[in-house]
Amino acid sequence: MGPDLARLAKKATTLSGKSRRIIAVSRFTDAEAKESLEAHGIETISADLLNDEQLRNLPDVPNVIYMAGTKFGTTNNEHFTWAMNTYLAGKVGDRYKNSRIVVFSTGNVYPLVPVLSGGATEKLPTAPLGEYAQSCLGRERLFEYQASQHKTPLLIFRLNYANDVGYGVLLEIAKSVLNEKEIDLRMGHVNAIWQGDANEIAIRSLLHCDHPAKILNVTGPETISVREAAEHFGLLLNKTPKFIHEEQSTALLSNAAECMRLFGYPRVTLREMMAIQAQWLLEGGKLKNKPTHFQARDGKY
C-alpha cells in the first residue's frame, strides 16, 4: 500500500496548490518502486529503520504515516517479527515524538467474534491469537507508551483487509474460483475495503490523531460471506465454485461504523470491487503474489 499512498498524498498536495514534502522511507529492495516514486515527484530515502543511526538521520516532519512491519514467515522467524513489529515501534515513537502519527495496525489484534455480532468494535478488549497478532498489539502498546510520555497525537489504524486487483481476499477467492480450486469455508466471513479508499482514509486520519491515542477500525461496511462472494465470482468468471468444510459461527471481523461516521462510506462498493477483480483476472493482469492467509484460524502465518 505504501507506494500508492505516497502517490495519493502527492496528488492531493499538487491539487491543493500547496508546497509539501512527501517522503517515502524504505529499504527499497525493489529499485523499480523507488524510481517510480521519484518519477511522481516523491522524495525517497533508503534506510533500515532498525539501524539506530539511519533512523536518527531521517528528517523531522510534522506528519508520519507508519506502515513498517512484517506478517508472513512469522513461524520459525518469530524474533524478527517482534523486532519489526514491536521493538521498532518504540524507537520510531521516540524519534517522532513531536509529530502526528498514524500507525498502521490490524484487526488481527481482536479475537474471533460471532458472525452475527456485526464485528469487533474499537471498544472490544484485544485478544490476539498467534505471535504475529501479539507482536502487532505490541506495536500499538509501544507507540501508546511513547505517546503517553511525550503527549504525541496518535491514531491506531486497525485495517483488514485492503484489496487491490493484484492482492487481497477478493483476489484469492476469485483465483480459486477461476482455477477451480477448493475454497475452505471454515473462515466463512471476512471484511474488505478497496485499497484506494483505505489509503485516503489513512491520510485524512492525520486530522484525527489524538492524545490519548484514537483507535480506528478501517474496513468496508459489509460482513462478506466467502461462499456468496465465490458464487458471485462464479457468475462473473463462468465457473462453478468448489467448497470444502463448513462455515464456523465465528470469524475475524471488524465493525467500521466509527470509520464510516468520520469519513463516509467507501467510494468503491463491494460489487464494484468484485467486477474489477474478475475483469483483471480475465485479462491476465499482473498479480503481486502476497496472499493474506485470511483462512487461518490459529494465528499462524
Residue partners of 29: CB distance under 8 A and separation at least 6: none
Rounded to an integer, what distance in angstroms lies between the CA atom of residue 237 and that of residue 275?
A: 10
Rounded to an integer, what distance in angstroms lies between the CA atom of residue 194 and that of residue 201?
A: 11
Rounded to an integer, what distance in angstroms lies between the CA atom of residue 183 and that of residue 274?
A: 17
Query: DSSP character for 210?
Result: B
Read off the pLDDT of each residue in 142-170 and give the average, rounded to a whole number. 97
pLDDT digits (tens, 9 = 90+) for 200-217: 999 999 999 999 999 999
Read off the pLDDT of each residue in 208-234 and give the average, rounded to a whole number. 97
Confidence of residue 81 (pLDDT cuts 50, 70, 90): very high
Residue 201 in contact with residue 261, Cβ under 8 Å? no
CA-closest candidate to residue 194, choices 155, 234, 159: 159
Note the pLDDT of residue 74.
62
Rounded to an integer, what distance in angstroms lies between the CA atom of residue 83 and that of residue 74?
A: 11
Return the SS3 of 63: strand
Amino acid at residue number 71: K
Relative orientation angle of helices 270-282 and 226-237, to the nearest 10 degrees: 50
Note the pLDDT of residue 75.
67
Read off the pLDDT of each residue in 48-63 and give the average, rounded to a whole number. 97
For residue 72, pLDDT over 80 is answered with no
Residue with grid cell 513461524, as numbered in its chain: 75
CA-closest candidate to residue 164, choices 193, 190, 195: 195
Return the SS3 of 41: coil
pLDDT digits (tens, 9 = 90+) for 246-298: 999 999 999 999 999 999 999 999 999 999 999 999 999 999 888 888 998 88
Torsion angles phi and psi, residue 278, rounded to 5:
-65, -45
How many CB atoms neighbour CB 209 within 10 A? 21
Longest CA–CA span in the chain (Å) reads 57
Classified by CATH at the fold level, domain 63-282 comes out as Rossmann fold (3.40.50)
Read off the pLDDT of each residue in 212-234 and give the average, rounded to a whole number. 98
Q: Give the residue with greater pLDDT, 117 vs 70.
A: 117
Domain coordinates in residue numbering, the chain: 1-46, 63-282
Confidence of residue 138 (pLDDT cuts 50, 70, 90): very high
